[in-house]
Structure 1
Amino acid sequence: MDWTLEVVIVPVTDLDRAIAFYRDQVGFELDHHTVNEHMTVAQLTPRGSGCSIVIGSLPAQNQMAPGSLHGTQLVVSDAAAARRELVDRGVECTEVTVFDERDGGTFFGFSDPDGNTWAVQQIRARAEKPLIPKAPPS
């Protein structure tokens, strides 16, 4: 049986500010933004990912303090290029650090406006062999 991680709940204080940060600065795709009498919630997905983040006012989110999610990890094929992309969009990032010369040992990080932290790991093999295969051009 396959078990897939599909959603990570990220606790934030201001939904619109968080949407703007994750969509416009980090580059996640806004899948949906739902506002009704039961909830206010948005789902955003990093390009190339099978897992999304959800922000808003769902009961599970209300049990987590904004800014309390730490070390959620993204993976890219080129950490330096990914960091440049984020910095160019106004995201403050740590420097790229090589902890181990082997593939997977290079990281940098950033935080959202609430203080939730993200680690970005470089795995060069993702360039040729992504976890989710890209569809051939039509």
Structure 2
Amino acid sequence: MDWTLEVVIVPVSDIERAVAFYRDQVGFDLDHNTTNEHMHVAQLTPRGSGCSIVLGDLPAQKEMAPGSLRGLQLCVPDAEAARAELLSRGVEASEVTKFSDQDGGTFFGFSDPDGNTWAVQELKARAENPLIPVESRGRFGA
């Protein structure tokens, strides 16, 4: 039986500010941003990922303090290029650090406006062999 991780809740203090950060600065795709009299929930997905983040104000989503998530990890085929892209969009990012010569041994990090932290790992193998093939990407028929 497959068990897939589909959603991670990211605790934020201002949902719209966080949507703008993750969509416009980090480059995640906005899957939906739903507001009604009962809730405000937004889901965003990193391009090429099978797992999304959710920002919201439902009781279960408010159990963690804004900014309390640490070290959620993203993978990219080129850490230097990914860092340069984030910097060009106004995201502060740490220097790229190479811990090992093996693929997967290079990292950098960044934080969202609330202080939730992200680690970005370089996996060069993802360039030739993406986790989700390009032809299988997209949600809601996009």
Residue 139 of structure 2 corresponds to none
The share of aligned pairs that are identical, in percent, is 76
> Unpaired runs of 5+ in structure 2?
137-142
Residue 117 of structure 1 corresponds to 117
Normalising by structure 2, report the TM-score: 0.94
What is the CA–CA distance in structure 2 between the aligned matches of 1:11 and 1:60, rounded to whole Å? 10
Moved more, 31-40 or 104-113: 31-40
Residue 53 of structure 1 corresponds to 53
Residue 7 of structure 2 corresponds to 7
Structure 1 outlier segments of 4+, above 4 Å: none
- Tell me how many residue pairs correspond in the alignment: 136
Aligned-residue offset at 1:38:
1.8
What is the CA–CA distance in structure 2 between the aligned matches of 1:103 and 1:60, rounded to whole Å? 37
Once superposed, what is the RMSD of the aligned Cα atoms? Answer: 0.9
Moved more, 104-113 or 51-60: 51-60
> Unpaired runs of 5+ in structure 1?
none
Normalising by structure 1, report the TM-score: 0.96
Aligned-residue offset at 1:116:
0.1
Q: State the Cα deviation string for residues 31-58 of structure 1 (Å, max 9, x = none).
A: 0000112210100000000100000102
Residue 100 of structure 1 corresponds to 100
